[in-house]
Chains A and B, each alone.
Chain A
Amino acid sequence: MEKFIRHTGVGVPLRRSNVDTDQIIPAVYLKRVTRTGFEDGLFAAWRGDETFVLNNPAFASGSVLVAGPDFGTGSSREHAVWALKDYGFKAVLSSRFADIFRGNSGKQGLLTGQLSQDDIELIWKALENAPGTEVTVDLDQRVVTCGEIVAPMQVDDYTRWRLMEGLDDIGLTLRHTDAIDDFEAGRPSHKPRTLV
């Protein structure tokens, strides 16, 4: 997993609350057999609407999603995070995230930064007034800047550490490879093997 310390990219204002994971990626896209290529399913139901924010060329290359409250509710599908990452998003900012979505994001290197709704509103206005404006998300300092706006960002210590170290769940476990090696050395030889 890539380390996340600081990121600067085009901010995308998503003025909607309660965006559930079915809206982030509909179930029909879940039949795939790969971990990549889910960007075409991202917000699929809204992409047909010309006025949808990602259909504005100035926002199309966005990498910081600035969303309304209660982002990521509903189904636990990990595909929602894959779709956002595959599209190119590095961070999602909101005043409130659903627990499972936030957990899934942290495990896969997508930063979910919590800002006050007042700051979200200020950033929305700045982005809408000048589409293409960049937003800097500084995980080290836990600060989001957008033009003149400087907003404190909440990220719990554990998630911040994991993201800054670039550790996914597997990466975390692999830090204990010595313990696994030791355990394996002591396994009884009568335990079965599938290959002979």
Chain B
Amino acid sequence: MGKTLAEKVWDAHVVRRAEGEPDLLYIDLHLVHEVTSPQAFDGLRLAGRPVRRPDLTLATEDHNTPTLDIDKPIADLTSRTQIETLRRNCQEFGVRIHSLGDVEQGIVHVVGPQLGLTQPGLTVVCGDSHTSTHGAFGALAFGIGTSEVEHVLATQTLPLRPFKTMAINVEGTLKPGVTAKDIILAVIAKIGTGGGQGYVLEYRGSALAGLSMESRMTICNMSIEAGARAGMIAPDETTFAYIDGRPHAPKGKEWDAALEYWRTLYTDDDAVFDAEVTIDADELEPFVTWGTNPGQGLPLSASVPDPESFADESEKAAARRALEYMALEAGTPLRDIAVDTVFIGSCTNGRIEDLRAAAAVVKGRKKADSVRVLVVPGSAKVRLQAEQEGLDKVFTEFGAEWRHAGCSMCLGMNPDQLAPGERSASTSNRNFEGRQGKGGRTHLVSPLVAAATSVRGTLSSPADLEPVG
């Protein structure tokens, strides 16, 4: 019997297999940030252990970093301590770090691919659940806890039991204005926030072939919101072209050898998935969430659902609670929901393509007076590239705030937060209660919907806008 893509990558990394024990899996790339690493480094120090492979480890500062006044000391003491601790740890253990102000600094999941470090067939881990992003390259990439971070630092391996595999077939052609974000929000709405538990999701099908790497990363990024350990997409010419020429891409003969290997990374025709789900791409519309988990989403043309319409009792209760927290009434058209803040950024939608898409919508327009618009590039490099393309001017003339790179309002660990009761349209990945600030209310949307919403002040798609001029 053939193997799935996930099984091929897994099997290629088994250091040791023994009856009744987890597999010992080799880790090709370990990404580190300031929030989940301090105790791991301290554990090494206590045990007198070194980092086994600093040359397979990379640290960036992202979760806590401010997006304004980055040349000044960080005001929040906890944030400053975590960042200073990471810097000290990296220096002591010989780990490469890209600090605030460095041209390669940015969200860990934007930086890895941008440097060409994320490649097909790798195992990639990070103490962050959105590590699944890197699966867009055909890597097996997943988030780990702090003890596991220490384990990987010390041994470059992890003891793990194999994951199950689930195929997500996205067949058909996307309508204009429908993007990767809409695909993944529709997938999560379909299988639920626990539907992927224990699985690696492999996204396949005709609708994916034409997607850029940025779009594929958006899809894999949110696999965790369906409960999955990882998400993957088989590499193809689009993948290879994206990597070619990046700073850490293989060169010369190494490139040829790598390419030969990468071309073997697909699910065999006779492989069997543990589960399969199919999504009709032709039917998809711009998707937005109305509730307080990423599975509570609907097409923008729909209305806030009536909790009583859910058959399942726990879904009914969850919907009731969500509507109360979100201060929404059943039956309200989603397009009538007014927001205070629009956030464009995060490891889900903070890459150059996302900023280009949003800029194309707002170019030559003015934002709604009632809305604050925050544009936060996913990395310092993305910010620079956007500035070279003049996107920063498009945004600032529109009335948006052009910020420095980081996780920012996605999780509100830095000063970029919603005030209690404020409502956002956000291109990030989680609409949990209080995620973007205590009492804040989040609607997850694509960059196109975020941009159009910032023009009209209510949840909107570009199709709802009057032509410019």
Contact = CB atoms under 8 A, between A and B. Distances in A.
Given A32-B39, A34-B39, 10 more contacts: A33-B38, A33-B85, A35-B43, A170-B150, A180-B24, A180-B52, A184-B156, A189-B254, A191-B122, A192-B248
A33 B56 CA distance: 23
Contact of B26 (A33, A36, A170, A180): A180
B250 A173 contact: no
Given A34-B38, A194-B55, A180 B147 contact: no
B310 interface: no
The size bracket of the interface on A is: 20 to 34
Interface string B341-358: 000000000000000000
Nearest to B28: A191
A169 interface: yes
Contacts of A1: 47
Contacts of B316: none
A172 B58 CA distance: 25
B159 A33 contact: no
A48 B465 CA distance: 61
B37 to A, nearest CB: 9
B155 A190 contact: no
A176 B56 CA distance: 19
Interface string B134-167: 0000000000001100110011110100000000
A188 interface: yes
Interface in B166-196: none
A149 interface: no
12 contacts: A35-B39, A35-B46, A170-B151, A173-B154, A176-B16, A179-B15, A179-B16, A190-B258, A191-B28, A192-B249, A192-B250, A194-B54
Contacts, number: 98
B394 interface: no
Given A170-B151, A173-B159, A195-B55, A31 B78 contact: yes
A190 B151 contact: no
The size bracket of the interface on B is: 35 or more
Interface of B: 15-16, 24, 26, 28-29, 38-39, 42-43, 46-47, 49, 52, 54-58, 78, 81-82, 85, 96, 116-117, 119, 122, 146-147, 150-151, 154-157, 159, 248-250, 254-255, 257-258, 261
Residue from A1, A34, A193 having most chain B Cβ neighbours under 10 A: A193
Which 5 residue pairs spanning A and B have beta carbons closest together? A33-B38, A35-B42, A190-B258, A195-B55, A190-B254
Contacts of B47: 1, 168, 170
A107 interface: yes
Contacts of B248: 192-194
B24 A192 contact: no
B261 A190 contact: yes
A193 B146 contact: no
A70 interface: no
Nearest to B13: A183
Contacts of A36: 42, 46
Interface string A140-172: 000000000000000000000000000011101
